[in-house]
Amino acid sequence: GEDVEQSLFLSVREGDSSVINCTYTDSSSTYLYWYKQEPGAGLQLLTYIFSNMDMKQDQRLTVLLNKKDKHLSLRIADTQTGDSAIYFCAEGANSNSGYALNFGKGTSLLVTP
Amino acid sequence: GAVVSQHPSWVICKSGTSVKIECRSLDFQATTMFWYRQFPKQSLMLMATSNEGSKATYEQGVEKDKFLINHASLTLSTLTVTSAHPEDSSFYICSARESSGRMYEQYFGPGTRLTVT
């Protein structure tokens, strides 16, 4: 995870938009991912974007990719208290065993009423 | 669809004993499964990749004799932590890739919290 950087904490008010940012270093990454982890639970795939795309929108989620700057962001519109969780950015990268995911440390999102 | 389960969800064991964690793909076949380890407030670190019917491939720094991985069927992979010590206490998460699916999609299990006393 040391090659994928995220801010550790974000607090927003319910109803506002949240923007979580991520930078990665592997320019050969073909896919970039956003996962959500609720307390004590595993990871839920929220969305992913192919590296030749600039933007992907899925309901309240918008992913922006700036491949030149190796910057990825996740925007959550109309953030709800149920969106409070840790959000992990991940890049698809080649490891000893082939294609695997390299995660950032996660951004804790706190949504206040 | 694409549900991955882990068992147990939580285990406490004494130092020196071994613990087996199961990872199952419930509604799909998974040629490849991955084992990750997560420390509190840290990222997931890939430990090893498990391919059905062959030996697992371990990441650098992971002791293969300590973390035994078996992937005997297309729906089950197991991780055995041998001679566990307190420093092995962690959250272990598996993921699975569908055999017939796109190689870029992985589905994660809910994780197993291991505490070694």
- For A107, the closest chain B residue by CA position comes to B41
Residues 6+ apart with CB under 8 A from B67: B35, B47, B48, B58, B79, B80, B81, B82
Q: What is the pLDDT of residues B70-99, one digit of tens each?
A: 988 999 999 999 999 999 999 999 999 876
> Looking at CA atoms only, how far is residue A16 from chain B in angstroms?
25
State the Cα–Cα distance between residues B115 and A79, nearest whole angstrom. 35
Handedness of CA B100, B110, A101, B83 (dihedral sign): negative
What's the average model confidence in pLDDT over A54-83? 95
B110/A1 CB distance under 8 A: no
Mutate to test the interface with B, among A96, A102, A108 (most CBs of B within 10 A): A96
Q: In chain A, which residues have their Cβ closer than 8 Å to the Cβ of B49?
A: 95-98, 100
Per DSSP, the three-state class of A81 is: helix
Query: Exposed, middle or buried: residue B82 (CB in 10 Å: 0-12, 13-18, 19+)?
Result: middle
- CB atoms < 10 A from the CB of A38, how many? 13
Sequence-separated (6 or more) residues with CB below 8 Å from residue A13: A79, A111, A112, A113
Residue A2 has pLDDT above 60, yes or no: no
Q: Which member of B4, B57, B108 has the closest CB to residue A97?
A: B57
Pairing of the two strands A55-58 and A31-37: unpaired
Asked if A74 is an interface residue toward chain B (Cβ–Cβ < 8 A), one would say no
Mean pLDDT of B7-16: 96
The Cα B85–Cα B115 span in angstroms is 9
